[in-house]
Amino acid sequence: MKSSKRKLEPIDWAFFIGGPALFLAIAWFGLQAIIGPGPAPSAIQKLKAGVITPGKTAEDVLKSIGNPKATVEKADGTYYFRYERSAWSGETKTFAEEDAYVDFDSTGRVTGVSFESRTPPPTPNVSP
């Protein structure tokens, strides 16, 4: 008995390659439509990534990072922006509170960025 092997035509290759590619594209866009895009990075994540460097103006900071939670002016004419967020810490199983401070000189230029993190102590398990 002789087997009949036919040579693959261009339309066959289109199905072999195009079919899986089309499936992946539909799956990707379908998932994006259902769950939406990933969350935008927070102001503190942007600051940790180094978006703001010394010498930038307050307007640059507001444009890149957004409005701060608070603006604190000091007696010597300098001031700082305070950004804050709460994030779940998998290590301690509690929410960690993070603050970021963008310091400005009296001319409105960034002099530095600092971070502070606080984790409240876990609540003791009390059984009745």
**In this predicted structure, what is the pLDDT of residue 125?**
65
**In this predicted structure, what is the pLDDT of residue 35?**
87
Alpha-helical regions (H) of the chain: 10-35, 43-48, 58-65
* Distance separating alpha carbons of residues 52 and 59, to the nearest angstrom: 11
Residue 14 CB burial class (10 angstroms; 0-12, 13-18, ≥19) = exposed
CATH 3.30.230.10 describes domain 43-118: no
**In this predicted structure, what is the pLDDT of residue 1?**
56
**In this predicted structure, what is the pLDDT of residue 75?**
94
* Residue 82 falls in which region: left (phi positive, over 0), alpha (psi -120 to 50) or beta: beta
The segments of the chain whose pLDDT lies below 70 read 1-3, 92, 121-128
* Distance separating alpha carbons of residues 98 and 115, to the nearest angstrom: 7
**pTM tops 0.85:** no
